[in-house]
């Protein structure tokens, strides 16, 4: 732990001395002590981005839900389960020079969570009601004080990718959106490749389909260029 | 694949020539294309039991949901996701000399599953309604024809373990129940140890707390003795 810390401090590269927050993986929202709601995010893209940023010399705080892939090496690792825990971890990790929000955060949690019995419908089957989860990307993007200089969100869309992702950028208030098409036909969800569109205040830029590692390297270099300005 | 088959056929031990079905792991019930309901079963106990049965010479058909642990070696492997898929796999794997139902099968699935939009409540939040899943243990236990000679169920209980598990044995119609106490205090759920009570028509037999591998070996020997009678 101590050695890793020292190693981090002296890593050289275009992002040396920069502190970057990356969220990754799915969140799990408990229904009761044994059941939970999950999503199919593997954590592979978030891991790749964190690795690429570390490779350019950044100090990366990696906040991850229960991902399938192991966390990358050389990061400051914070493991969480729920969206609310992820927001708390993100807030405690700030300030940072940039934040890259790759995690697939559950929009809602079960309202009647915990050790209590589930509500039952007339036929004896449970009915689950939900409460809205905090919107981590929006919360950070709209911080009055201590907002990272560059906030990057991700948008997994199944149709009208460009339109939906552009609207999401405006709604959240983030600087960039990395949009990807996760419709069944692309086979991207859970796969090793990604076809993304980078949306900034200068417009939309479609990247060719490439490996998640290559998407990560390209994005890391763009972040380094933006932070050098 | 062919070599493994040959190897299986000639394996020697007290269960040589016996075909045993083992279910293991959690099931996942889809909410929509990206979200699903899961449970905290790791699949470790089912894997250990299948391995122990293979070690005694059995041909094991291993039907597993998306478990955290890898499947054991030397088994005929069938991977499933939902409870309905698991029932279909079990039915296609019968007849068998014994069935050991270790999987933590979801009691219910989302009624409005699939590509359709979720129903929304008045405040715009989704409401999930459920339909009952097939009861695999009960279905097999009560088969009029082709029922395995020995049907073993598992019961994960959080309180009144003996009472609840005994009632479960009667309700399902299985021969044995392996009951374990998964209340938070025991730390068993997700851990490497188990404290079980074996319930048969001769009564209940508490086993001391031991590793899941040891529980598996003991149970496998009991199954071998029962099938030799």
- Between positions 130 and 169 of B, the ones with CB within 8 A of A are 130-132, 156, 158
Chain B nearest C-alpha distance from A136 (Å):
18
Q: Do A132 and B125 touch (CB under 8 A)?
A: yes
Furthest-apart CA atoms within chain A: distance in Å: 64
Size of interface A-B (CB pairs under 8 A): 71
Q: How far is residue B90's CA from residue B19's CA, in Å, rounded to a whole number?
A: 13
d(CA B192, CA B205): 21
Residue B67 touches partner A, C-beta closer than 8 Å:
no
Of B31, B125, B132, Cβ closest to residue A125: B132
B104 inside 8 A of chain A by CB: yes
Backbone angles phi, psi at A203, to 5 degrees: 120, -160
A6/B155 Cα distance (integer angstroms): 50
Structure tokens at B200: 């048969």
Decide: A118 and A126 in contact? Cβ < 8 Å. Answer: yes
Any CB–CB contact under 8 A between B118 and chain A?
no
A69 and A46 Cβ atoms separated by less than 8 Å: no
Rg of chain B on CA atoms, in Å: 18
Residue A115's pLDDT is: 45
Residues of chain A with C-beta less than 8 angstroms from the C-beta of B184:
33
A35 touches chain B (CB under 8 A): yes
With CB atoms and an 8 Å threshold, state whether B37 touches A36.
yes
pLDDT digits (tens, 9 = 90+) for B216-228: 999 999 999 999 9
- What pLDDT, on the 0 to 100 scale, is given for residue B103? 97
Q: State the burial class of residue A115 (Cβ atoms within 10 Å of its Cβ: 0-12, 13-18, 19+).
A: exposed
Quick one: tokens of A7? 């190693």
Q: Looking at chain B, which residue has its C-alpha nearest residue A29?
A: B37
Structure tokens at A167: 């609207």
Q: Is the peptide bond before B95 cis (omega within 30 degrees of 0)?
A: yes
Comparing C-alpha atoms, which of A164, A157, A162 is closest to residue A207? A162
- Please give the structure tokens belonging to residue A56: 């350019």
Residue pLDDT tens, chain A, 229 long: 445 554 555 578 999 999 999 999 999 999 888 889 999 889 999 999 999 999 999 999 999 999 989 999 999 999 999 999 999 999 999 999 999 999 999 998 988 654 444 555 666 777 788 889 999 999 999 999 999 999 999 998 878 889 999 999 999 999 999 998 876 666 655 567 788 999 999 999 999 989 999 999 999 999 999 999 8
Instruction: Establish if B100 touches chain A: CB-CB under 8 angstroms.
Output: no
Q: Which whole-number Å values give the CA distances from B110 to A113, B50, B124, in the listed order? A: 17, 30, 19
Quick count: other Cβ atoms within 10 Å of Cβ B88?
Answer: 16
Phi-psi region at B141: left, alpha or beta (left = phi > 0; alpha = psi -120 to 50): alpha
Determine, for residues B189 and A34 on separate chains, whether the beta-carbon distance falls below 8 Å.
Answer: yes
Contacts of B171 (CB under 8 A, 6+ apart): B138
Interface check B38 vs A, CB under 8 A: yes
The pLDDT of residue B1 is 46
> Residue B35 in 3-state DSSP?
strand
**Chain B neighbors of A121, CB-CB under 8 A:** 129
Tokens for B31, please give them: 């909410």
Give which of B30, B31, B35 to mutate to test A binding, by max A Cβ within 10 Å: B35
What CATH number has the domain spanning A2-228? 3.40.50.10300
> How high is the pLDDT of residue A116?
47
From the CA of B123, how many Å to the nearest CA of chain A?
Answer: 10
**Residue of B137, B186, B135 lying closest to B157 (CA atoms):** B186
Q: Which CATH class is domain B2-153+211-228?
A: alpha beta
Summary count for chain A: helices (H), strands (E): 6, 14
Q: What are phi and psi of B15, to 5 degrees?
A: -105, 15
Q: Do A39 and B35 touch (CB under 8 A)?
A: yes
3-state secondary structure of A199: strand
User: Residue ranges per domain, chain B?
Assistant: 2-153+211-228
Each of the 229 residues of chain B gets a pLDDT tens digit; together they read: 445 544 555 578 999 999 999 999 999 999 888 889 999 889 999 999 999 999 999 999 999 999 989 999 999 999 999 999 999 999 999 999 999 999 999 998 988 654 444 555 666 777 788 889 999 999 999 999 999 999 999 998 878 889 999 999 999 999 999 998 876 566 655 567 788 999 999 999 999 989 999 999 999 999 999 999 8
Res B190: pLDDT: 58
> For this structure, is B194 an active site residue?
no
Using the Cβ of A69 and the Cβ atoms of chain B, whether some distance falls under 8 Å is answered with no
Residue with tokens 């009667």: B170
Q: CB A35 to CB B39 under 8 A?
A: yes
Query: Nearest CA to CA, how far is B180 from chain A (Å)?
Result: 14
Residue A95's CB is within 10 A of a number of other CB atoms, namely 13
Q: How far apart are CA A53 and CA A55, in angstroms?
A: 5
- Asked whether the beta carbons of B119 and B126 are under 8 A apart, the reply is yes
Model pLDDT, residue B115 = 45
Name which of B33, B37, B40 is nearest A37 (Cβ-Cβ).
B37
């Amino acid at each position: 732990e101590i050695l890793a810390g020292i190693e981090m401090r002296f890593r050289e590269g275009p992002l040396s001395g920069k502190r970057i927050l990356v969220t990754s993986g799915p969140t799990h929202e408990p229904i009761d002590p044994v059941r939970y709601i999950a999503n199919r995010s593997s954590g592979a893209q978030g891991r790749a981005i964190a690795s690429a940023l570390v490779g350019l010399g950044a100090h990366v705080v990696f906040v991850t839900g229960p991902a399938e892939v192991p966390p990358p090496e050389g990061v400051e690792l914070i493991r969480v389960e729920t969206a609310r825990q992820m927001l708390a971890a993100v807030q405690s990790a700030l300030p940072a020079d940039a934040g890259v929000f790759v995690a697939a955060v559950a929009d809602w949690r079960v309202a009647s969570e915990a050790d209590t019995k589930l509500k039952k419908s007339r036929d004896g089957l449970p009915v689950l009601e939900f409460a809205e989860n905090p919107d981590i990307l929006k919360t950070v993007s709209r911080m009055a004080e201590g907002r990272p200089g560059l906030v990057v969100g991700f948008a997994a869309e199944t149709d009208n990718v460009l339109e939906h992702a552009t609207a999401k950028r405006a709604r959240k208030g983030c600087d960039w959106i990395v949009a990807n098409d996760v419709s069944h036909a692309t086979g991207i969800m859970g796969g090793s490749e990604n076809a993304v569109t980078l949306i900034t205040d200068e417009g939309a830029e479609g990247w060719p389909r490439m490996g998640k590692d290559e998407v990560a390297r390209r994005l890391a270099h763009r972040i380094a260029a933006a932070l050098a300005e």
